[in-house]
């Protein structure tokens, strides 16, 4: 809750930046980070469920694996029953910090990279625009994932910790500060960025699909008769977000499983005990668990990513509109 309040304090302070045109990139960072973090507050419980489902039965054949959680709803009920409300919101602080750093960078730099690549919707060649949007989103996503990787590392480890049903490697972190200090003592900067390559691959793929399809679906809906029936920009954003979220989950889930396992694996002598990197993890998971293993937690992933995508883009669009309103008002007052 403290981080949530601090987040909104930061958001309202961004108004000061609206009068600094040369720092528009910082304005975009704050707006995007605020939108994603607001969404995170509502979707973090599902993220926790997804993390545990992905770690359950790691590198075990389906018949040999111990199944604690039978699905997202069952997992949610068990965690709430055994760990309470605080348990279902485990990892919220690093999750919000991750959203600020990762999505602030990803969404904030997306439009800038779009302009550099000429991904303009006024261009007649729709295929070229779509491909340029994918490249823009992948680049913005990889950059955001790199900056946010230490927070995601802590989030995964805190969310996997359970006193009654352990899945994956268990880490005894009291809070975010304690977690960072322990990781730093054990591995320094390298320890904080362990698993970053998997996260960059994960977000680059997910982001390229999510942002490009969101823009594409929004353009298609706006240009179609559906826009008149919806009669609301929020409804258009909602439909575009749901479609983009589903497409992103299909493309992203295998590398999401890989990323979760790389962050969670036990570290010995500076090296991961199970995997040497993302492709090694992908191969070992496929050999041991098959395609089903790579799509573990799929519905929990979509139940998290779908609403998170919807909320992020709706908040983002509304925050941008609010920011533009403030900017126009301030400009008018200055001229008067």
Residue 241 has pLDDT above 70, yes or no: yes
* pLDDT classification of 26: cutoffs 50, 70, 90: low
Tell me what pLDDT residue 58 has: 93
> Residue range 59-87: average pLDDT?
91
Nearest to 40 by CA among 304, 323, 316: 304
- How do residues 103-158 score in pLDDT, each as one tens digit? 778 777 777 787 777 765 555 566 777 778 778 888 888 888 999 999 999 999 99
Task: Give the rounded percent of residues in the chain with a pLDDT score beyond 70.
Answer: 85
> Residue range 278-290: average pLDDT?
95
CA contacts within 13 A on the Cβ side of 53? 28
* pLDDT classification of 10: cutoffs 50, 70, 90: low
Residue 156 to residue 94: CA distance in whole angstroms: 9
Measure Cα distances from 166 to 9, 170, 219, 223 in Å: 37, 7, 45, 50
Residue 312 to residue 290: CA distance in whole angstroms: 33
49 within 8 A of 333, measured Cβ to Cβ: no
Residue 335 has pLDDT above 70, yes or no: no
Tell me what pLDDT residue 226 has: 76
Residue 240 to residue 135: CA distance in whole angstroms: 19
The DSSP 8-state label assigned to residue 17 in this structure reads G
Residue 170 has pLDDT above 90, yes or no: yes
Tell me what pLDDT residue 197 has: 92
Tell me what pLDDT residue 163 has: 85
Residue 103 to residue 29: CA distance in whole angstroms: 8
Measure Cα distances from 142 to 112, 318, 332 in Å: 15, 25, 39
Residue 185 to residue 158: CA distance in whole angstroms: 17
With a CB cutoff of 8 Å and minimum separation 6, the contacts of 49 are 69, 72, 75, 76, 79, 297, 300, 304
Measure Cα distances from 27 to 8, 31, 54, 85, 119 in Å: 14, 6, 36, 34, 21
Return the H-helix or E-strand segment holding 326.
helix 298-335
| Least-confidence region, from 7-11, 185-189, 322-326 | 7-11
Tell me what pLDDT residue 1 has: 47
54 within 8 A of 69, measured Cβ to Cβ: no
CA contacts within 13 A on the Cβ side of 236? 21
226's tokens: 């559906």
For 257-313, the DSSP string reads HHHHHHHHS-EETTEESS-SSHHHHHHHHHHHHHHHHHTTTHHHHHHHHHHHHHHHH
Nearest to 154 by CA among 88, 105, 92, 80: 92
Overall residue count recorded for the chain in this entry? 336
Q: Is the pTM of this model over 0.75?
A: yes
Q: Which residues of 46-72 are buried (b: 16+ CB within 10 A; e: fewer)?
A: bbbbbbbbbbbbbeeeeeeeeebbeeb
């Amino acid at each position: 809750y403290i981080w949530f309040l601090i987040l909104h304090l930061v958001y309202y302070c961004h108004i000061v930046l609206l009068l600094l045109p040369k720092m528009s990139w910082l304005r975009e960072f704050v707006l995007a980070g605020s939108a994603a973090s607001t969404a995170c507050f509502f979707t973090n419980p599902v993220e926790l469920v997804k993390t545990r489902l992905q770690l359950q039965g790691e590198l075990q054949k389906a018949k040999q694996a111990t199944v604690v959680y039978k699905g997202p709803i069952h997992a949610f009920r068990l965690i709430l029953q055994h760990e309470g409300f605080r348990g279902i919101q485990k990892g919220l602080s690093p999750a919000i910090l991750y959203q600020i750093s990762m999505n602030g960078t990803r969404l904030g730099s997306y439009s800038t990279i779009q302009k550099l690549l000429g991904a303009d919707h006024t261009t007649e060649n729709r295929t070229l625009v779509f491909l340029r949007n994918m490249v823009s989103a992948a680049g913005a996503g990889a950059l955001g994932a790199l900056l946010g990787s230490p927070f995601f590392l802590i989030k995964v480890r805190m969310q996997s910790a359970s006193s009654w049903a352990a899945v994956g490697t268990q880490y005894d972190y009291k809070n975010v500060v304690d977690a960072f200090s322990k990781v730093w003592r054990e591995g320094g900067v390298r320890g904080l960025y362990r698993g970053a390559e998997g996260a960059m691959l994960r977000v680059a793929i997910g982001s390229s699909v999510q942002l490009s399809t969101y823009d594409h679906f929004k353009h298609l809906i706006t240009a179609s008769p559906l826009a008149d029936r919806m009669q609301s920009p929020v409804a258009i954003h909602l439909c575009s977000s749901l479609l983009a979220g589903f497409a992103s989950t299909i493309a992203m889930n295998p590398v999401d499983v890989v990323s979760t396992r790389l962050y969670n694996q036990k570290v010995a002598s500076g090296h991961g005990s199970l995997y040497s990197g993302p492709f090694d993890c992908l191969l070992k998971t496929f050999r041991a668990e098959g395609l089903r293993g790579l799509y573990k937690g799929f519905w929990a992933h979509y139940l998290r990513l779908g609403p998170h995508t919807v909320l992020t883009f709706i908040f983002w669009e509304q925050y941008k509109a609010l920011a533009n309103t403030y900017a126009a008002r301030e400009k008018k007052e200055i001229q008067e």
